[in-house]
Amino acid sequence: MEYRVKITYIYHSSFLVEFPECNFLFDLPHGDHLPKQAIDVLKKSLNSNPLYVLFSHSHDDHFNPDIEDIITPFTSEYKFIISYDIYADYASKFASNTYILEPEDEVNIDKIKIKSYESNDLGNAYLISFNGINIYYGGDLAEWIWPDTKDEEKEFIQNYFEEILKELRLEKIHIGFSNMDPRLKNFGGGIKFLQMVQPDLFIPMHTFGRYDHLTRLKQIDLPLDKEVFIYSKIGDKIEKHIDV
């Protein structure tokens, strides 16, 4: 069976993933991390489909506590999947339509299966399985190698990140989101993720609204059936046809 998936870049690490039956919204940010243009794009893109809103952790650039006010004018059917640290700080914001995931949890929601991985920063990464399609969303699980990172810590960070990638490689990842942070020499491991996991569609994230460095991804030698979403502005879209 073939599925048509449309993905809209909102801002930074936030994307709207649209299937014919439902939509997924990832890590809508808050405050200075959310330009007005991004909110406008989101509001124009939302429709009446059931919406699953996933938040990987509570940092402002990944979590918006006002999410319910933003989405309710557009859809009455929505559910939240949030990390444990968000619930610890914002329990009053979430009601019975909320699923709180600890690391290594697995939950079935409607026809969707979600597995969480422990981030090496804060919160979770997610593997979402829906109608035979696997979507990996990394959150802040990345290869955080800063200029002042000590060798011992660097080895731990690299080993942990690579172990996760090896596990993901055993899955068939159709759509994979991972960090391409322009502040880091290694971009937070996005290129390594692309090379090791080789999702059908790779979507770089954690860009802070900077896009020039994403053209580096064009230089990666990949099989012809693999694709990279190289966006250059808020609201850019890509459509992908996936056979399952």
d(CA 51, CA 128): 14
Residue pLDDT, tens place only, 120-160: 999 999 999 999 999 999 999 999 999 999 999 999 999 99
Residue type for 136, please? Answer: Y
Residue pLDDT, tens place only, 199-233: 999 999 999 999 999 999 988 888 888 999 999 99
d(CA 142, CA 194): 12
Q: Specify the pLDDT at position 15.
A: 98
Per cent of the chain over pLDDT 70 is: 100
N-terminal to C-terminal alpha carbon distance within the chain: 5
Radius of gyration (Cα) for the chain, nearest Å?
A: 17
For tokens 């509570």, name the residue: 58
Residue type for 43, please? Answer: K
Domains and CATH numbers, the chain: 2-243 (3.60.15.10)
pLDDT score of 1 more than 90: no
Q: Specify the pLDDT at position 63.
A: 98
Q: Specify the pLDDT at position 191.
A: 95
How large is the average pLDDT for residues 97-105?
97
Residue pLDDT, tens place only, 72-87: 999 889 999 999 999 9
pTM over 0.95: yes
Which band of pLDDT confidence, cut at 50, 70 and 90, is reported for residue 116? Answer: very high
Q: Are 72 and 155 in contact (CB under 8 A)?
A: no
Q: Specify the pLDDT at position 176.
A: 98
Q: Are 41 and 14 in contact (CB under 8 A)?
A: no
